[in-house]
Each structure stands twice: as C-alpha cells, then as structure tokens.
Structure 1
Amino acid sequence: MIPFDMTYHRPISIEEAVQLFETLQQQGKKPLYYGGGTEIITLSRLHFVSADAVIDIKHIPECRTLEVGQHELVLGAALSLTTIEETNPFPLLTKTASEVADRTARNQITLGGNICGQIFYREAVLPLLLADSQVVIAGKNGLKQCSIHDVFQRHIRLEPGEFLVQIKVDRSYVSLPHAHCKRRKQGEVGYPLVTVAALKKDEQLRVAFSGVCPFPFRSKAVEEQLNVRHLPLNDRIHEAIQALPRPILDDIEGSAEYRLFVLKQTLFDMIAQLEGV
C-alpha cells in the first residue's frame, strides 16, 4: 500500500496533462507524472517519494508510439519494457531492457519511467546515449526536441511540469555491431554490479555504464582511451578505468575495488568481441 492519500488523473492529451499539472500545483498540491508506477510504489513505502496527485500519461497516444520509419525509430515514453522486448525495434535497447528486473516488473516499468527514475541504475538510457538519441519533452511552453545529451547528465534534467514524451533514434544505429553485459552479485535477477552497453560506429567504440557509479553515464574520456588502438587492450582498459567519473559505488552489492575488477574483465570480453566484428 502507498502510505499517503492522492488523487488519480488520466489525461488523454499532452495539453491536458500539462494543464493538469499546473492546475494541481496552483491548488497547493504536489503532482507527479506517472508511467508504470513501480518506482513510485517502491519509493513511497520507503518514504522517499510523496505526492498529492498522480497524472497517468499512459493513455496519451504520443506516449505510446512505436514507429519504425525509414530513417527514424520513435519510441513513446509510456511503452513498457516488455513491449520493447517483444517488438525488438533496437536490438541493443531490447537486450538492455530485457535484463531490467523480472518479467512481471517489466510488464509495468515504462521506458520513460526507467530513464527518469530515482533509482540510480536507469539502464534503459545506456543505448539511447550511445545512439545520440533525440528526446521530445512536453511542458507549459509546448513541445521541444533536443539531444538526450542536453537533458541527461547523470540524471534527466526536466523543468517543473515537464515530462518525457518520446525518444527518437536514427535508424543507422539500430543495426550497428553491439554488445551488452550485466554482471550481478549472484543469480539472474537483481541489481547489477556493473552493466556495460557498447556500439561500434565508424570503427570507434562507444561505451556506456550503469552500476559503476551512482548514476548511469557515457564518458568521452573513457571512450578516447578505449579507442587508442596502438596500445595493448589491457593498457587501454587500464587507462579507461582511470578516466572513469567518481565516486565508484561501494555498497552491499559489491565494494568499489571489486566493481572495478568485474568491470575490467567485462570490458576485456566485450571489446575483444566487438573488435573481432
């Protein structure tokens, strides 16, 4: 059970959702946009999230789009991870999404909910960072489209009243050589020690990480080191690890030292695979 009372709202258009948010704020309420709701339920029980009202965006058509065009893939923020897994519009994203939580949870977790969540893994964003995706954001000034890199820096940076509507991916990225690896403490379900996603574009490696730091990220400094081809792979990985942002996570899942050990082995296997493609 959610330990507070709140009203539920189900707009059917972007304009209605934005207006609802503004109206509820003017009434002195604290509204939240709502996709799958799994994180709101989890964090509210821990008293990390509270709200007077939730605005469910799942019934807004633009938020449920899955369009494979000639040049562009358009993914609505309210698509469930299971839908992405079953339709497989972007294989690297499919692989990443298919390893978030378990099947029952993925039926509810949405792409936008995972990207915009407070739980710091947010793994679904990794392929989207690698593909230099565009995002469509709704707010009181209407819709805007911008690079994901402009709004996602460790976490998504939305203005009050804004919500993520869609993600757009250039289809040239969809069929690129790719690799994904999620290393857990034990078993096949649970939070990761490290998750690494990689694409190979124009003979250059692009790599993004979750579980290494308390935020998901793609680092150009790390990529520069990994792409110094005249050095042995061990040296490239060593220099890349030195270039990682800090802090390195050190928690119940694994110490910082152990995480870096696992990361080194993961990078070695993935890069050896991709450079053989």
Structure 2
Amino acid sequence: MGSLPHPTTPAGRDGLAALLAHPERAVVGLDFDGTLAEIVPDPEQARAHPGAVPALAALAPHVASVAVVTGRPAGVAVRYGGFAGVPGLERLVVLGHYGAERWDAVTGTVQAAAPHPGVAAVRAELPGVLDRFGAWRGTWIEEKGRAVAVHTRRAEDPQAAFDALKGPLGDLAAHHGLVLEPGRMVLELRPPGMDKGVALEEYVRETGAGAVLYAGDDLGDLAAFAAVEKLRSDGTPGLLVCSGSTEVPELATRADLLVPGPEAVVTFLADLARTLR
C-alpha cells in the first residue's frame, strides 16, 4: 500500500483493499468541518485546508465519486471548500443539510427539498430562549437555512454553557417537531430524518458502489459510520477514518484508521491518489 497508513481492523483493511483493487467503483465520503477544514471559533471563517482541493482533484478521476457530506448548506460548503470549477473535480457532489440539498460539479446547481416549517418557528423563538440564559455570554446562533445551531465555543465556560443549554434547546426542538443534535461545543436543531448516515447510504446505493470510504470528526458523523457498518454487513466493503482522533472518543473507537486532523486527512487523500495512478 506504499505510504498509506494501515487500518487497525480487519474490516478496515478489507475496505481499503477493495478500494485499491477497484477504485472506479468506490465512493469516497468526507465530512467538511473538522475533516477537510480546521475547526475555527467562527464557522463563517472556516475554509478547506489549502491542500484539500488539489488532493481531491487528484483523487476524484480515479474513483466513482467523491461526496462531501455536511450539515452546512450545499452552496456554503462549495464556496468555503473552493470546489466549483476545478478541473478534475467533475465527479464531486456535495450533500448539504445532511442530504436535503445536493450540489454536483457537472451542473454546478443545487437541488433541494422543501424546508421543514419547524425551523422557522425555532428561529423566531431561539433568541428569547438564549436571553433567559444571560449568564452564558458568548453563545451565538448560526443560521443554517434548513437548521439552526447554537455555538458555545466562545462562551466564558464553553462546556458549562453547552450543558446548561442542552435541555432547554432539546425541549424547544421537540416542541416544533425538530431534533437536537449535539456536536463539539455546538447544539443543532434540525428536522428528524436528516442525518449523514441516510444521505451517505442512499448515495452509495444510488451509485452502485463496490466500496466506500468515509472520514469524519464529530458526533454527527456517527450516523455515517453506522451506515458504512450496515453496508459492510450487506457485503459492501468500507473504511472508516476518524479525523482528530482524541476529541470525540465515540467516533475514534469505531474507526478503522485514526488521523490527527484535517492536514493528515488531506495527506492521506493525496497519498491515496498517488497510489491509484
């Protein structure tokens, strides 16, 4: 396998071997924040690692598809990733809002389902809910179109703010038919049935892939890991990669390969592309 790191599990080794044997039938799935882009205090300032687009442009022509699976709006991920109009990325798709939106490089357009009405209701009530927790200064709201997120990373005590808001925001989400999805110092309120696992599995089955790789870094990626595990049980080999191996132990313990963050993910993708030449 050249300079490629070795998966630590038999299933992971089988997944990588299947990808290397028939890359033209493989789907490479990737989270964006924390995987292709470093986590930053202000998510609007997040950008793909400088080596991400070159690595993906080198890899994509050798595989069936590269799919960026993200909770961000598809158009935002495309813009922050710098994915549009890049030679070599014609086989790239972005499954935004956990699959509710889809951008593909061939057409350069976004296809989207109708938004859930509960999101607008939560958006209107959320500032009032946060005002009742005035002690947690530094929390702020990220508008995600089909979802709303509350970040505590910039609060005086990020974990305390996260813990205090989790219950009230869970109640608010449930009242409007939404679900609360916790992440790394972020609490996202979004419609049920929207998760990376559903998006990834549907896309893998749509493409008829013979192997799948998925890399992620946060609790929201657990659903995608579960989807790959299900696909493996159904006979489709898969490789699970955890980016930032110490921050989310729930993900790390289920991964076949641990890498220390986006720079290492990009290096892995570039090495994979060179191996497939």
TM-score by length of 2: 0.24
- The structure with more strand, counted as a fraction of residues: 1
- The structure with more helix, counted as a fraction of residues: 2
Q: Which of 1 and 2 has higher RCO (CA within 8 Å, sep 6+)?
A: 2
TM-score by length of 1: 0.24
